[in-house]
Each structure stands twice: as structure tokens, then as C-alpha cells.
């Protein structure tokens, strides 16, 4: 129905209802008072009726009641009561001025009650009749677009032009005051952010599309938290760079995920990465892991001459092999199954392939597991790293990038301690080598193996509870692609000996991640999925930091890469402590933890 015709029909209906409520109120008062003089056959009575109807209609119209008639529920009844209470209050002023001597005061509350009953009753009957005689197609998507700008307009255009797809575009949401009450492509802007929850219910919205590609994730999270209190699905546009011209494929509109809420926008890589990776031989250790496999994918996109992918797990390397051979058939690829603890094998790989660049990502990183397996952590994270570092120095590697962690700063667990000693090995070797050794330190990455995201997802799928160690536990997070891109940037910036620290943004509460994931899965925390606090696990602390107090901070040419300038290492002491660890592994493995702690204490005190 045309909007003007619809408004005309609704206006006539409500004028009739207001007139009827006035007459019925007069009838009730007349019966109660037994006053035959109460009638409309005089000028004052007719003028009073017209005044009452006009006040009621103007209040309904001005307060936009007619926008809310496709759905009728508790909130709408409350809205009617408020509007009619206002109109009756205004009429009371007229009544007290001109009719107090002629009509009994009981007429005022009677008018208020009859107008509410007539208006709300008719609307409820209409809503029920519509559902009975004109049932809505449950398969039809009823869409609300957040953002009436260029992206929202293109999205609306695609929806309106789509054929064979059961879409019904209801309207837009936009906080721009100048866009309120306007139409975009004939579709109305229905309100602002504060109106979303009510509008979703009013118009029985099934899908909300957030068409704000330039919005900050905190802003998107605000919209998500509102929408997830309703039954509507929340979806996002694809990145603008993925559109063809000004065209956007509706199939590319995707459901929201946790990376949208925590990760930041990918920054375009600088020319520096291409300059040092193109046409060279690159070795990646731990290439089957979360970081290693993404490193392989991104490095390959810069056309290296040769890419050597080394890993201990054959299945993970096989999976990387299948992906890269299909995606980069023009690159010389080598897949090596090797353990970085095997010094002879590692040296043979360096001798055979003579890599120019090495990204050392191989490590044991599971904190609670390494607390119970100190020997494995020491052998892999310390002496495995030493093997790769020595081979890089011996065979003249140009650049070497060691992937570290925020848990290496003031470490309280075995994993963090071994990674910190790995940093020390890299730094001390850098002082006497022509190879440009550097360390890149960052926090948690989303959806890596063993991270909280996959664990939470499985717990949600099984109906909960979702287990959180502590309500105040916070961590730094970034997406795997974002972390790897910044690792590549740091490698390009290296002049030798630096500890690069990636800008991780603001720390995020693990509890917030759990709650957001529950909402993204279509549930409400505590109501549908319970959150259970299980206590801090061995080796964990409430928060992590990215710098030592003794490290001097320095900016770089990249806005998201910083340098922590370290102290000079005392190589003699470090070599002595490494020898103690080797002897303990052979003879007294129960002493490993105390030796690790002693090394870290001396490091913090500046004695190494």
C-alpha cells in the first residue's frame, strides 16, 4: 500500500475511534449521573468533541505512532497510553476552563480510559487478524540496514535488484540527525541507534546488516550488543576492497565473527616487505603451526625465489603443502619434516638450501602443559632455538626473525622463561654475527591452536558452561594475519639486535570474549549459556606486559611496530647458564625449574 494512502486510512480510522471513545464516555457518564442533558446537540458539545479528536490525532501523528503499526505488543501499548495521556491532559485544561460548570469532572478519567481501550483494542484486533488471515512468509528475510551512507545505499540497491531471493528491505538506521525521516531509494530511515531494539521487534526484523565499513570495532560492538538482545541475525559487509567497482555480491555479506570485534583492519603492506622477500630463499620453522602457516602464505605472496617450510608434524606440513602448491604453483617449494632439536639435521637443511631469510616460529607454547613438561620446553624453546640460531650464523643468513611472546616479559611460567632465554640467545649471537638477528614480541593471536576461542566455541556448541579462569583476566589479542604482516614489517626494519614489539592495541578481558562469543552464537550469557570461573591455572597471571622496565622504547617508520632497546648481554654468563641447563637435563631434570628461575632472576637484575 502506498505510504500516503496508508497514512490516510489510518488517520481516518483513528479519528473515528477517538470520536467513538468520546461519545461512549459521554454515554457512560450519562448513565452514571442519570443526566439526560448530556448530549452533543449544542455548539459547546460539538466544539468540545472536535477539540478532543483533534488533540488526540495531533499527538498520535506528531509522536510518530503511525510508524509502529506493523507490530503491536507491550511496548506499543505503553506508547499509546503515554500519547493518549498527554492528549487527555491537554484536553483537561480546555475542560477546566470551559466545561467544568456544565459537565461532571468524572468525564475526564472516563475519556482517558475509553480512548485507550478503543485505540489499543482496535490495533490489537487488527494485528491478530492480519496474522490469522494474512500470515507472513516465515522464510522471508526482513532486513534492517545500519548505516544510510554510501555503503548502505549500495547494499540496499543490491537487495532491491536481487531476483529470486526472498528479501524484504524494511528500513535504515543512522545516527545522523539530518537523515531522520528521509528515504533512501524509497526506503525510510526509521531511527537512530537507540531505536534498534524496538524497531527489530516492531517490524519483525530477521536480519540486521551493519553497512559501516569505516566504523571502529568498538562502534560495531555497540551495535552487536544491542542486536544480540533480539532474535535478529547480525551480518557485515565484505571489505570494500573486495567489491568489484561499486558492485557488492549479496552472497559476500557474512555473519559476524569474533575477529571482527577484536582484530583491527589489515594495513596495506609497505614496499619494504617486497624489497627484502622478493627473489630470495626463505626458511620458516614451525611452518605447520598457526603463525608458521600464515607466514608461509604471506611470504609466498611476495614471490620469493624459494620457500623452505620446516616442521615436526607431518600432518600439519602436509596440509600447508596442499594449500601452497595449489595457490602458488610458480614458487619453488620445499617441505621438510625435521625437529629443531636435531642439530645435525638442521645444519644439513641450511647447507642444502642456503636460506637468505629465516623466520623461527617453532616453539612449544601451551602454558599449563609446559608447566608439567619442563624438559620438553627447555629442549625445544631453548636448545632448539640455539641450533637454528647457530646454523643461521654459520651459513651466512642475511636476516633472522625470532617469534617471541609477551609471556617472555617478567615470565612466571616455564614457557615464558624458555622463550625469554631464547630471546637472550638471539640477542647475544647478534652482537658477534653479520646476520641481522631480531626478536618480534607480541601477545595472543585469535583462533590459534590452544587459544581460548576454539575452546569457548566447543563449550558453547555443547551447551556450556563456558569456563573462564578469572573475571579480571586480560590479554592482548590480534588476528593471525595481522600479527604475521607486522612480523614481516619488523623483519624489513631490522638492522640487527632489536626486540620489536607489535602494537597490540588495548588489552581485552577474557570474560568479554566469552560473552561476545556466546552472543555471536545466538545466545545470551548466563540466561542461555552459563559462565563458570575455574581459577587461574598453573603458570598463568592476570595480565601480561610487552616491555621490561629496563628496555628503552623507540618508534619505527611503521606506526604499529615499536622497538624495545635491550641491555647488552654478558655472553660468558649466558653460556655458563645454558651449560648448567644441559647438565640438568642429562643428570638432574628435577632441577630444571629452579635453574630457569635463577637465570630469569639474574636477567631481571641485570646480571646477564
Residues designated as active site? 407
**Residue 226 in grid coordinates:** 544491542
Q: Is 412 helix (H, G, I), strand (E, B) or coil?
A: coil
Q: How far is CA 576 from the centre of its chain?
A: 47
Query: Which candidate, 389, 387, 366, places its Cα nearest to that of 377?
Result: 366
CA distance 108 to 94: 11
Rounded distance between C-alpha atoms, residue 153 and residue 145, angstroms: 9
C-alpha angle 152-156-159 in degrees, rounded to nearest 5: 140
Q: Which of 483, 140, 22 lies closest to 297, judged by CA?
A: 483
Question: Cα–Cα distances in Å, from 495 out to 186, 438, 449, 538, 547?
Answer: 59, 8, 32, 38, 20
CA proximity to 456, closest of 465, 466, 447: 466
**Signed CA dihedral, 597, 545, 295, 424: sign only:** negative
Nearest 5°: CA angle at 495, between 489 and 496?
Answer: 110
Residue environment code for 117-144, b if the CB has 16+ CB neighbours within 10 A, otherwise e: ebbbeebeeebeeeeeeeeeeeeebbbb
552: which strand partners? 565
DSSP code string of 72-98: --HHHHHHHHHHHHHHHHHHHHHHHHH
Cα distances (angstroms) measured from residue 202 to each of 7, 85, 171, 392: 17, 22, 12, 66
Give 23's strand partners. none
Task: Collect all residues with Cβ–Cβ distance below 8 Å to 312 and sequence separation of at least 6.
Answer: 288, 337, 338, 339, 340, 362
**How many whole angstroms separate alpha carbon 489 and alpha carbon 298?**
12
Q: Are 360 and 422 in contact (CB under 8 A)?
A: no
> For 211-222, b where at least 16 C-beta lie within 10 A, e where not — what string?
bbbebebeebbe
Sign of the four-CA dihedral 427, 428, 431, 435 = negative
* Helix H or strand E encompassing 401: strand 399-403
Q: How far is CA 287 from the centre of its chain?
A: 27
Amino acid at each position: 500500500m502506498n505510504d500516503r494512502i496508508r497514512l490516510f486510512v489510518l488517520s481516518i480510522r483513528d479519528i473515528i475511534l477517538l470520536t467513538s471513545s468520546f461519545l461512549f464516555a459521554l454515554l457512560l457518564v450519562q448513565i452514571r449521573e442519570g443526566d439526560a442533558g448530556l448530549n452533543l446537540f449544542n455548539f459547546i458539545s460539538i466544539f468540545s468533541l472536535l477539540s478532543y479528536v483533534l488533540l488526540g490525532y495531533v499527538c498520535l501523528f506528531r509522536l510518530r505512532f503511525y510508524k509502529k503499526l506493523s507490530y503491536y505488543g507491550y511496548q506499543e501499548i505503553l506508547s499509546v497510553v503515554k500519547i493518549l495521556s498527554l492528549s487527555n491532559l491537554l484536553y483537561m485544561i480546555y475542560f477546566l476552563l470551559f466545561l467544568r460548570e456544565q459537565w461532571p469532572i468524572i468525564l475526564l478519567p472516563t475519556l482517558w480510559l475509553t480512548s485507550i481501550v478503543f485505540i489499543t483494542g482496535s490495533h490489537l484486533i487488527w494485528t491478530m487478524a492480519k496474522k490469522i488471515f494474512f500470515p507472513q512468509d516465515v522464510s522471508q528475510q526482513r532486513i534492517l540496514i545500519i548505516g544510510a551512507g554510501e555503503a548502505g545505499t549500495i547494499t540496499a540497491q543490491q537487495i532491491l535488484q536481487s531476483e529470486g531471493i526472498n528479501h524484504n528491505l524494511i528500513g535504515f538506521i543512522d545516527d545522523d540527525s539530518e537523515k531522520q525521516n528521509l528515504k533512501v531509494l524509497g526506503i525510510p530511515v526509521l531511527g537512530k541507534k537507540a531505536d534498534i531494539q524496538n524497531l527489530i521487534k516492531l517490524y519483525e526484523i530477521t536480519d540486521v546488516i551493519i553497512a559501516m565499513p569505516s566504523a571502529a570495532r568498538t562502534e560495531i560492538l555497540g551495535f552487536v550488543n544491542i542486536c544480540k538482545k533480539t532474535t535478529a541475525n547480525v551480518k557485515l559487509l565484505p571489505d570494500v576492497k573486495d567489491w568489484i567497482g561499486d558492485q557488492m555480491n549479496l552472497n559476500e555479506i557474512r555473519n559476524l565473527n569474533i575477529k571482527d570485534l577484536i582484530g583491527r583492519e589489515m594495513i596495506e603492506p609497505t614496499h619494504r616487505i617486497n624489497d627484502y622477500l622478493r627473489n630470495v630463499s626463505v626458511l620458516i620453522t614451525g611452518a605447520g603451526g598457526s603463525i608458521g602457516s600464515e607466514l608461509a602464505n604471506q611470504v609466498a605472496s611476495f614471490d620469493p625465489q624459494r620457500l623452505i617450510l620446516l616442521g615436526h608434524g607431518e600432518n600439519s606440513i602436509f596440509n600447508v603443502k596442499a594449500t601452497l602448491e595449489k595457490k602458488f604453483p610458480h614458487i619453488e617449494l620445499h617441505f621438510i619434516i625435521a625437529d629443531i632439536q636435531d642439530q645435525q639435521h638442521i645444519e644439513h637443511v641450511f647447507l642444502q638450501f642456503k636460506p637468505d631469510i629465516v623466520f623461527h616460529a617453532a616453539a612449544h607454547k601451551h602454558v599449563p602443559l609446559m608447566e608439567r613438561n619442563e624438559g620438553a620446553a627447555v629442549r625445544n624453546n631453548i636448545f632448539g632455538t640455539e641450533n637454528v640460531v647457530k646454523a643461521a650464523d654459520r651459513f651466512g643468513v642475511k636476516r633472522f626473525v625470532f617469534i617471541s611472546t609477551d609471556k617472555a616479559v617478567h615470565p612466571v611460567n616455564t614457557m615464558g622463561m624458555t622463550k625469554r632465554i631464547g630471546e637472550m640467545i638471539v640477542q647475544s649471537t647478534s652482537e658477534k654475527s653479520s646476520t641481522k638477528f631480531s626478536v618480534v614480541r607480541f601477545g595472543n593471536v585469535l583462533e590459534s591452536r590452544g587459544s581460548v576461542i576454539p575452546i569457548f566455541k566447543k563449550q558453547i556448541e555443547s551447551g556450556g558452561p563456558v569456563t573462564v579462569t578469572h573475571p579480571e583476566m586480560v590479554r592482548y589479542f590480534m588476528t593471525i594475519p595481522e600479527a604475521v604482516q607486522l612480523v614481516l614489517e619488523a623483519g624489513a626494519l631490522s638492522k640487527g639486535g632489536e626486540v620489536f614489539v607489535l602494537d597490540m592495541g588495548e588489552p581485552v578481558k577474557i570474560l568479554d570474549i566469552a560473552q561476545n562469543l556466546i552472543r555471536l552464537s545466538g545466545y545470551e550469557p548466563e540466561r542461555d549459556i552459563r559462565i563458570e570461573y575455574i581459577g587461574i591455572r598453573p603458570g598463568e597471571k592476570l595480565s601480561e606486559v610487552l616491555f621490561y622496565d629496563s628496555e628503552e622504547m623507540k618508534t619505527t617508520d611503521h606506526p604499529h611496530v615499536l622497538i624495545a632497546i635491550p641491555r647488552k648481554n654478558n655472553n660468558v654468563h649466558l653460556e655458563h647458564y645454558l651449560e648448567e641447563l644441559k647438565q640438568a637435563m642429562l643428570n638432574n631434570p628435577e632441577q630444571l625449574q629452579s635453574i630457569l628461575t635463577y637465570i630469569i632472576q639474574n636477567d631481571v637484575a641485570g646480571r646477564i
